[in-house]
Amino acid sequence: MATLKEQADPNLDCKGNHYLVILCLIVVLAVMVLVSILPLSFPLNWHDYLLHQLGTLVFMAIVCACYRYLASTTFSFVLATLFIVIHIIGARYLYSYVPYDEWTQNLLGFRLNEMFGWQRNMYDRLVHFCYGLLLLPLIKDVFHYLMPTLSLKVILLLVLQFNLATSALYELFEWILGITLSPESAEAYNGQQGDIWDAQKDILLAFIGALISATIIYLKPQSSNNKKAVYSNGLK
């Protein structure tokens, strides 16, 4: 049975799509292996590290399934893969210890924390922002596949609500870890760094990223033929 992609575009090179999935999987695994062998300036707790990376493998499988079976676009799939790579780097350094200051100092001659006056490691904030910015297109594609009669505007509103809901659920998950794991393991995974408003700031940044992505998608010019094909039955 043909997938929705094949029905929409009979000339689609499905073999090329398979190659893209394989390529992205290779990139993800290569980055995971590479960062795993990098020297660290602190002792690594492998239990905490593997707890981070277990979610990486599960999430990559979900992204691949969305691309293969739920008609997400190639662009959305690549953005989602980029988000996973950003997460892998953060997980290697348990988020709180990503040495981006040293990287920018060596490459560009300045330190980000000093430039912006930050008092903590902000890499986890970047990942939450990218959750909204880079994953919204993929989630939008899945929502449209599941609810093809809805207009683009309604789909984007639903996806923004999904972003807020999943961000809040993740913070609840971190809270559960915080009360079940040892204090050291909980801090290593959650990376609050003493900020009592960490959860609220993470949710806000994820929503801002999603809002930017949704605005770009909504304002992006679309051909009249494409609009008719995709949203001909949508709510106006």
- The whole-angstrom separation of Cα 186 and Cα 26 is 31
Q: What is the b/e burial string over 13-34, where b = at least 16 CB atoms within 10 angstroms of the residue's CB?
A: eeeebeebbeebeeebeebbee
pLDDT of residue 127: 94
pTM value is 0.79
pLDDT of residue 43: 60
pLDDT of residue 228: 43
pLDDT tens per residue across span 142-191: 999 999 999 999 999 999 999 999 999 988 988 887 777 656 655 555 55
pLDDT of residue 211: 98
What is the residue whose two structure tokens read 């090179």?
13
Ranges under pLDDT 70 in the chain: 1-16, 40-45, 48, 181-195, 222-236
pLDDT of residue 1: 44
Residue type, 133: L
Q: Where are the domains of the chain?
A: 14-231
